[in-house]
Every structure is written in C-alpha cells, then in structure tokens.
A and B are shown apart, each in its own frame.
Chain A
Amino acid sequence: MKPEDIENFVAAAAQAQGLTLDPGQQQRVAVAFARNADIARLVLEFDLPESVEPAPVFTP
C-alpha cells in the first residue's frame, strides 16, 4: 500500500468503526498501520491451498 492509500484507508476504516481520530492520532495510527501492512504482506503474498482451514478452537 502507498502512504496515501494507508492514510485514506485508516480514515475510512476508523469511520467504519465509529472511531473519531484527531489529525495527530490519525497520523500516528497510520504509521502503526503501515508497519502492520508491511508485515501482513508476508502472509498475504503466500499461496495457501484452499483446503487449509483456520483453527478457531486450536489444539495443536
């Protein structure tokens, strides 16, 4: 995600959650979200077989 995409997403997603952020908060949350997005990339770009299930009740 490009920096402006992050800012736009954070603004819209905050609204969707009923969250009011002042400009300073919005900027800091965008920085944190950008870091999460960067880490999430490693998960999202990885091809998982469709058959792999999540484990809502997880017993290894």
Chain B
Amino acid sequence: MNALEIAARIRAGEVSAVQVVDAALATIERRNPAINCFVEVTASRAREEAKAIDALRGRGRTLPPLAGVPYAVKDLFDVTGLATIAGSALHRNSPPAATDAALVERMREAGAVLVGTLNMDAYAYGFTTENTAFGPTRNPHDPSRVAGGSSGGSGAAVAAGMVPLSLGSDTNGSIRVPASLCGIFGLKPTYGRLPRSGSYPFVDSLDHLGPFATTTADLAICYNALQGPHAGDPACAQRPIDPVSRKADGRGLRVARLTGYFDRFASDEARAASVRAAECLGAVAEIELPEVERARAAAFIITASEGGERHLSTLKKHYADFEPLSRDRFLAGALTPAAWYLKAQRLRGWFRDRMAEVFSNYDVLIAPATPVSAMPIGTEWLDLGGEKLPLRASMGLFTQPISFIGLPVVVAPIVTPGLPIGVQLIAPPWREDLCFAAAANLELAGVARSRITEA
C-alpha cells in the first residue's frame, strides 16, 4: 500500500495506525536481514506516534495528511534519543540527539510515524552504500548488487516494501542515484527549499534534503508537508510553502532531452530510458548543455574541499577508525588549493547564468539519473564512453552538474524489462511543480512506475 492509501484507510477506520505500524515493523524484521537498510528500528517511538494518531481519530479530530503512514530517515537526520551516526562507526557512541531534525518534526506534524534510521555511505561520501562498518545495503531487486547511495538505505527500504516513504540527502546525487537503481521516485528540491537543520552536513554549498516514494502523488504530499521557512538553516531560502499538485495535468510542457555529455557516458539502457521519457512527454528538442563536464568537475572540487575540511580534525585523531573507502579521498580534498575551490565557486555562478538561458526555452530537461543500472557490490571500474572510470565516483556523472546549481529534480523510474533505471526531470529553480507535472504525466502514461519487491 502506498502512503495515501494507508492514510485513507486509517481515516476511514478500516485499520488502526497501530495495526499499520505493527505490520511495517514485522515486514522490516523479516526483510531487513537480507537487504541491510535499517541501522536502528525505533519500534517504541513508532508505536507511541501511532497510538497518538488513533487517539486523535477516537476524539473525532481531523487527521493530518500522512496520519499513520510509516516512514524512515537516512541516518544523518537527528532523531531524539538516538546518536546521529552518519554512517560512521566513530559516532556509534556519540551523545543522543536532544531534538528531532526540522524535517522529522514536520513529518510528525503531518502525522507520519517514524520506524527507524537507514544505512548510508559514511558521511554521505559515495554513491553505492558500501559501508565498511555497517555492511553494504543490498538492492531489493537483486541482493548481489548495490542499492545506490549515499541514501541507499532510504531507496532500498521503500523498494523492498518496508515503508512507503523515506527521507534522504543529496549533495551530488545521493537521492537521485538510489532512486534510479532501486526503481522508485525521488525528489531533490531546489537548493535552499527545505531546511537542513538537525541533519549531519557534508558539503554546505551543495547539501539538499528530500523524500523518496512509490508514486508521484505520495512524493508530492510528503514534499508539501516538508516545506516552509526555518531559521535554523542559513542556506534555507525562507520561502512560504509552495504546494505542488498530486495529479497529472496534461499541460503542454516544453521538454528537451539532454544529449552530448549525457549520451556519451550513458549505457544503452540509460539512453533508452531518457529517449522513452522524452517521447512520452513530447520533447521538442535534443540539446547539449554548455560546459557541463566542467560544471561536474567544479562540483567535484567543491565537494572534495568542503568535505575534506569538515572531517580533517577527526581524520587527524581517528584515521584508523574512519571509513577506509573514503578517508584518503577526504584527506586529499582537505589539501585542495583555495584558488581551485574559488574558481569552482565562480564557475558555479557562470553555469547558473547559462542554465537560466536554457530555461528561457524549456520547462523540463530530461537526462538519465545514472549512467548504468545497479552494478554488483564491490565493482571498482566501469567502461563508459570508451573510458575506464572509477565506478563509485562515476555513478554521479549525470546528477552532479545539476545539483551543482541547485536545480529541482524528480527522478522517475522508467518501466524496463531489465534492472530498474530512472530519469531526471529537471526544472528551473523553485519550479518543483514542473518536475511533478512531468513525472505525473509519465506515470499516467504507464512509462514510469515504481518497482516494489514482494514481501
């Protein structure tokens, strides 16, 4: 059942919130050992939140939009009473969070029921959720393969039918990559749209938070619940709530498919997915973005530099206990010359202006979310566009230049006979509504559909 169906059944009294959460907890207990997406299961909090919903209904009150809907969060959101681990064994015994992250608070206000925290790449630096301390999260569609990352637990928990909604973070693609590899919908909103207060940071200039869901309608209702200003995040744009519609509206969107760089590094299945989506949405053009490879490179350098500096003092003290897959990359990043970093930041301003020109002609741009579908766990290298590329960094080739300038993106899972793969539906800043309109149109046409494994 998706989130809206659950909320409707609870509202109608066909099932209680406590029954729903007990069923979700049972599914997690049964399925999690094979997938390894949960770090902590918050069963007692979940039952209390569910009881509160049932009590509200018992008193005849109007229920909030996500009343009784179970969800889980990437293990970098503060949850009252739990250490925020951020995928690092070093934080297992950190003091517990005193309050919930801003978005966890908003989910609670919307009636949703938190069932746990989810696995990730250590400190969100990775695209595969191959976490040495906590084990790899496995792809529900083929457990020998990765779920994507760094919000891999958030993607897998939804794709495995354990929860209908989850929250993750996306700095360079960490929502969009697992959404693609797990075959579900994901949203990376405009940079500055959702407050990051109470979440463990990675790269301040590029960090975004957002939801995963199995339908466009669920993604929309969750996103609407998460919106609104919050003083705790200096990068939050403090805009009023700008609700998106849950339905396809058949509006004539001006759509273009991105080629050049995006076709060069795309596997056949990734290119086919973007062509299929473009055809369905009546794309009027195929275009190349100006200097997109340099944009990706600049995002890479900003990430290395800011991420490296953030963890430098920890690395000095605790190198041996730091995630071995990323500790040398973090150290190398901390040594980035300031002039490289600042040139990358200036390139960001330049690229933003070029993209504004592109968007004077189009509403939505389409590109694959990942160059390939899920690869086997442990894969090191990938052949793409005639080049041998390091897989763990290259899964973000198509997402990184887009989040570089904070554009909103919905990832839609394209129906394919093989492993899941998604496309990015990219809109101008603050126009999430256009991403949703495109996604809903694809869903209505049967071209996009989530793939949830049977329990």
CA distance A33 to B316 in the complex (A): 17
A55 to B349, Cβ gap below 8 A?
yes
A54 to B331, Cβ gap below 8 A?
no
Q: Which of B235, B344, B390 meets A57, CB within 8 Å?
A: B235
CA distance A17 to B321 in the complex (A): 20
How far does the Cβ of B293 sit from chain A's closest Cβ, in whole Å?
6
Taking the complex as formed, is B294 at the interface, i.e. its CB lies under 8 A from any CB of chain A?
yes
B349 to A42, Cβ gap below 8 A?
no
Given contacts A43-B297, A60-B190, is CB(A52)–CB(B335) below 8 Å? Answer: no
Count of chain A residues with a beta carbon within 8 Å of a chain B beta carbon:
36
How far does the Cβ of B354 sit from chain A's closest Cβ, in whole Å?
11
Given contacts A17-B312, A36-B333, A54-B348, is CB(A60)–CB(B191) below 8 Å? Answer: yes
Q: Which residues on the A side are within 8 Å of B123 (C-beta)?
A: none
Q: Which residues on the B side are within 8 Å of A10 (C-beta)?
A: 332, 335
Kindly list the 7 A-B residue pairs having the minimum CB-CB distance in the complex, ordered from nearest.
Answer: A32-B332, A54-B345, A60-B429, A42-B297, A33-B332, A13-B335, A28-B328
* Known interface pairs A29-B331, A52-B347; 14 further A-B residue pairs with C-beta atoms within 8 A, sorted by A's residue number: A19-B312, A25-B319, A30-B332, A33-B332, A36-B300, A39-B301, A40-B340, A43-B297, A43-B343, A43-B347, A46-B347, A52-B349, A57-B235, A60-B406
B345 to A59, Cβ gap below 8 A?
no
How far does the Cβ of A37 sit from chain B's closest Cβ, in whole Å?
9
Interface string of B317-330 (1 = CB under 8 A from A): 00100000000110
Q: Which of A13, A30, A49, A58 meets B235, CB within 8 Å?
A: A58
Q: Which of A13, A18, A54 meets B342, CB within 8 Å?
A: A54
A14 to B349, Cβ gap below 8 A?
no
In B341-370, the 8 Å CB interface with A consists of 342-350, 352
Taking the complex as formed, is B407 at the interface, i.e. its CB lies under 8 A from any CB of chain A?
yes
Given contacts A48-B350, A52-B349, is CB(A59)–CB(B301) below 8 Å? Answer: no
Given contacts A13-B335, A29-B332, A36-B336, is CB(A57)–CB(B234) below 8 Å? Answer: yes
How far does the Cβ of B368 sit from chain A's closest Cβ, in whole Å?
21
CA distance A50 to B430 in the complex (A): 28
In A1-52, the 8 Å CB interface with B consists of 9-10, 13-14, 17-21, 25, 28-33, 35-36, 39-44, 46, 48-49, 52
B312 to A58, Cβ gap below 8 A?
no
CA distance A25 to B327 in the complex (A): 10
In B386-409, the 8 Å CB interface with A consists of 390, 405-407
Taking the complex as formed, is B298 at the interface, i.e. its CB lies under 8 A from any CB of chain A?
yes
Which of A19, A42, A60 has the most chain B CB atoms closer than 10 A to its own CB? A60
| CB closest chain-B residue, reference A20 | B316
A58 to B350, Cβ gap below 8 A?
no
Q: How many A-B residue pairs have CB under 8 A?
A: 110
A43 to B348, Cβ gap below 8 A?
no
Q: Which residues on the A side are within 8 Å of B315 (C-beta)?
A: 19
5 A-B pairs whose Cβ atoms sit less than 8 Å apart in the complex: A44-B343, A54-B349, A58-B191, A60-B406, A60-B429
Given contacts A33-B332, A60-B406, is CB(A46)–CB(B301) below 8 Å? Answer: no
Which of B329, B346, B405 has the most chain A CB atoms closer than 10 A to its own CB? B346
CA distance A58 to B430 in the complex (A): 13
Q: Which residues on the A side are within 8 Å of B334 (C-beta)?
A: 17, 19
CA distance A19 to B309 in the complex (A): 12
CA distance A53 to B343 in the complex (A): 9
Q: Which residues on the B side are within 8 Å of A40 (C-beta)?
A: 297, 301, 336, 340, 344
| CB closest chain-B residue, reference A16 | B335
A32 to B294, Cβ gap below 8 A?
no
B352 to A60, Cβ gap below 8 A?
yes
Q: Which residues on the B side are within 8 Å of A17 (C-beta)?
A: 312, 334-335
Taking the complex as formed, is B237 at the interface, i.e. its CB lies under 8 A from any CB of chain A?
yes
Q: Which residues on the A side are within 8 Å of B312 (C-beta)?
A: 17, 19
| CB closest chain-A residue, reference B344 | A43
CA distance A57 to B335 in the complex (A): 23
A55 to B345, Cβ gap below 8 A?
yes
CA distance A32 to B326 in the complex (A): 10
Interface string of B281-310 (1 = CB under 8 A from A): 000000000010110011011001000000
How far does the Cβ of B57 sit from chain A's closest Cβ, in whole Å?
41
